[in-house]
Structure 1
Amino acid sequence: MTQPVSDARLRRTLGVGDAVVVGLGSMVGAGIFAALGPAARAAGSGLLLGLALAAVVAYCNAMSSARLAALYPASGGTYVYGRERLGAFWGYLAGWSFVVGKTASCAAMALTVGAYVWPAQAHAVAVAAVVALTAVNYGGIQKSAWLTRAIVAVVLAVLAAVVVVCLGSGRSDAGRLDVGASGGVGGVLQAAGLLFFAFAGYARIATLGEEVRDPARTIPRAIPLALGIALAVYAAVAVAVLSVLGAGGLGQASAPLAEAVRAAGAPGLVPVVRVGAAVAALGSLLALILGVSRTTLAMARDRHLPGVLAAVHPRFQVPHRAELAVGAVVAVLAATVDVRGAIGFSSFGVLAYYAVANASAWTLSSAPVARIVPVVGLVGCVVVAFALPWVSVAVGAAVLGAGAAAYGVRWWWHRRGRAGQ
């Protein structure tokens, strides 16, 4: 029997190491295998500047999220922070941005798995991956954390091999690392937006706040640690691949890391990189489903989504109905739609989510020094979001507008009901 919604709480089992692994499983995922090419097309070798800018924005977001998560250690992340610090509407808008954007990301990661494992049957493999990982999540957060740890180990080993092979080859040339941006300032900003997609996984640590031991201590330590490791990995891989392919070759490569090791004279490593990409996408998908289901749980508790999704399984202590609902929606998308082009839309939604997080953190203190980080993060989110391709901006703004309209209709309906009593 499912626990009553009001009494249903998740079990605190994750320590600092587990939380860092969950964050890394989201960040060091399929993005590193796919995002470098589009970023190079946008900014040339200036993608390194874009990477640095994305890291600064991500750092500010991480610090704001860590401060807020320590105060509000409940599932839902910025949905909870915005609701508590700015009001119900802003919390709802953050939750809407996260759920919609990250659901698209889930489908994109599932299709990435299919594309690498069995390109001819990518959709079927994607659906199978979603079903399998939903089942893992259903079995409890500790099982998910252990699987994520294994995935992160495999991916880091593959990326380390790529870096060593590329930098150790005779075809590596430091002259190809010239940071002059062929796409100008706009190209660097667009590259930052595309690369930010790969950094956004640290939010998963905050959204799991109700399952972390001693959250006031664990979350502020885990978020920057996971972000720092991911930045070091991304920078090393970007430098290694650029030194072999150059900005032009990198921008034209459909599978940048595989092309880099082939150009470096190690074609035997290409299948290993392909397996690593598939495993990385699985890790991202696992963590994404975790995060989306927890935000769905928080929004269902407040009746912004159907209350039936707020149930917590009495044995496994997971939001099982939310997980099944998210898994079903992602499986349908993965079976019917090619959403790999939706990364820009997802980035727009995630940047909107973090804009609310920074605005929420701004209210925590009136001291000017304490407000520097959230101000930089808020401005960075807005600038980078609107530097994305115009189609992504237009679709993202339309979806956010639709969510705001739905909230307005619901608010009007409840107000009318109270007035009629």
Structure 2
Amino acid sequence: MIGAGVFTAFGPAAEAAGGGLLVGLALAAVVAYCNAASSAQLAAVYPESGGTYVYGRERLGPFWGFLAGWGFVVGKTASCAAMALTFGAYAWPEQRRLLAVLAVVALTAVNYQGVRKTATLTKAIVVVVLLALAAVVAAAVGGGEADVDNIGPIASGGWRGILESAGLLFFAFAGYARIATLGEEVSDPASTIPRAIPLALGITLVVYATVAATSLLAVGPDVLAAAAAPLDAVVAAGSLDALRPVVRIGGTVAALGVLLSLIVGVSRTAFAMASRGEMPRALDAVHPVHQVPHHAELAVGVVVAIVVSLVDLRGAIGFSSFAVLVYYAIANASAWTLPPHQRRWPRAIAVVGVVGCLVLAATLPVVSALSGAAVLAVGALVWVVRDRVRPATR
């Protein structure tokens, strides 16, 4: 969760809600908690890879499983593009799109060789990111520009703007479901996972709230909204701009680390769907030497490189948030159907999760919501046609 999203999401959130992005951050955390709780309950009942693609199929029916899987693939593909563009924005702003494409090509090649992000590397990335965020806070507080008046009115964007910022900031919390899906590898998961989820979300919320509040104090929402690399702009505004290299390194390291994992995750979901005939069968292939789904890896890399070439960072964040919010709405709906003996949290949490996901999705920027809905509708239409044709061809 403490990754590249924090380096980018404050910009569009500030544009939507001004100082109200602090309220939006809290709302995003509440929805994330509901989603994680629902995913944890479902992972305990269905301990297999696939996430909500599996849960939706088992609890709601094949169509909803497909829609969740399709939403994950397209949403996380947009996330890949956002991470690549974040890398470019912090590494070399003037050539950020070119660098983003090169990063996608390089990491696709790395994944093709079967190289994975280890637990040790993950810890190292988190340390670098936390150091970079500490530098942002230090520069914001000690740079001589901090002033409460910079925040402006909390309600400047109205409730619509606050909800829109929550949907955009939801992007920065991605990763919490990993806790829920590791039940088979955790000692005493029945008690450990319910403790780990609120603890992890709480730590992340404190970190993000500290960075958001100090950034607003230093430069205000207008500067954040206008910057391609918002946290770099915070440091550049004060007298401690010597810390800028630390923040830029943190942003680039975080973006590459997340991008590496995302390409793996999207390709594996596409591979799983292809094996069931719900995506092109050509993606259902494993490399004989490297033992990776190489066709799916290459397909994801090509699509992400094309998306990076065509869209901007904020459009990618909005589109990704919409698709992933729909994905988790299905997860919450699936959790709601669990019988009492399989539930670890009150049923009301799943209800709040469904409503929260749908409200945040509906209040995202209009272009993001419409394009996301259109892509999901295309996927649903393909499924319906395939489902009707398939019995006749048997």
In the TM superposition, what is the alpha-carbon distance from 1:322 to its structure 2 partner? 2.5
Counterpart AA for 2:311: D
Cα 1:219–1:328 shift into 2, 3 Å? farther
**Whole-angstrom distance in 1 between the partners of 2:378 and 2:101:** 28
For 2:45 and 2:384, locate their aligned partners in 1 and report how far apart those are by CA, in whole Å. Answer: 29
Moved more, 249-258 or 292-301: 249-258
Which moves more between the two structures, 275-284 or 117-126? 117-126
| CA apart distance, 1:204 | 4.8
Q: In 2, Cα distance between the equivalents of 1:175 and 1:121?
A: 35
* Structure 1 residue 337 corresponds to structure 2 residue 310: yes
Aligned to 1:412: 388
User: Which residue of 302, 308, 326 maps to 1:352?
Assistant: 326
The Cα of 1:164 is off from its aligned counterpart by 2.6
Q: Name the counterpart of 1:24.
A: none
Aligned to 1:325: 299
Aligned residue for 1:393? 369
Q: Mark the CA change 1:248 to 1:337 in structure 2 (over 3 Å): closer, same or farther.
A: closer
SS in 2 for 1:181: coil
Which of the residues 357, 360, 367 maps onto 1:384? 360
Equivalences for 1:18-417 in 2 at 5 Å? Answer: 27-140=1-114, 143-174=117-148, 176=150, 180-204=154-178, 213-214=185-186, 217=189, 223-312=197-286, 318-334=292-308, 336-340=309-313, 341-366=315-340, 370-417=346-393
Alignment-derived partner of residue 8 in structure 1: none
Distance in 1 (alpha carbons) for counterparts of 2:39 and 2:134: 29
Structure 2 CA distance for aligned equivalents of residues 154 and 167 of structure 1: 20
The 2-side partners of 1:213 and 1:139 are apart by 25
2:81–2:304 Cα contact (<8 Å) kept: yes
Report the AA paired with residue 300 of structure 1.
A
How many pairs were matched up? 389
**Contact 1:104/1:339 (<8 A) preserved:** no
Q: Deviations over 1:291-314 (max 9, x none)?
A: 212211221222111344344557
Q: Is the 8 A contact 2:86 2:229 kept in 1?
A: no
Return the offset for 1:151. 2.0
**Range with greater deviation from structure 2 (82-91 or 130-139):** 130-139
Amino acid of the residue matched to residue 146 of structure 2? Answer: S
CA contact (8 A) 2:14 2:222 kept: yes
Q: Give the whole-Å Cα distance in 2 for the aligned partners of 1:215 and 1:68.
A: 18
Tell me, in whole angstroms, the C-alpha distance in 1 between the residues paired with 2:195 and 2:263: 23
Q: 1: CA distance between counterparts of 2:156 and 2:204?
A: 26
Which is worse superposed, 32-41 or 216-225?
A: 216-225
Question: Residue 354 of structure 1: CA displacement?
Answer: 0.4
Q: Is the 8 A contact 1:47 1:192 kept in 2?
A: yes
Q: CA deviation at 1:194?
A: 0.9
Q: 1:136–1:143: 8 Å Cα contact kept in structure 2?
A: no
The residue type equivalent to 1:397 in the other structure is A
8 A Cα contact 2:83 2:258, kept in partner: yes
**Pair 1:111–1:177, CA change in 2 (3 A):** closer
**Residues 270, 283 of structure 2: 8 Å contact kept:** yes
Partner SS state of residue 176, structure 2 = helix
- Identical-residue share of aligned pairs (%): 62
**Equivalent-residue separation in structure 2 for 1:257 and 1:120 (angstroms):** 17
Amino acid at match of 1:77: G
* Structure 1 stretches lacking a partner, 5+ long: 1-26
Deviates most, 129-138 or 360-369: 360-369
Gaps of 5+ in 2: none
**RMSD over aligned Cα atoms:** 2.7
TM-score of the superposed pair, with normalisation by structure 2: 0.89
In structure 2, the partner of 1:13 is none
In 2: Cα distance, 1:325 partner to 1:223 partner: 33
Q: Name which of structure 1's ranges 115-124 and 228-237 shifts more when overlaid on structure 2.
A: 115-124
Q: Structure 1 length normalisation: TM-score?
A: 0.84
Q: How many Å separate the matches in 2 of 1:104 and 1:355? A: 18
Amino acid at match of 2:372: G
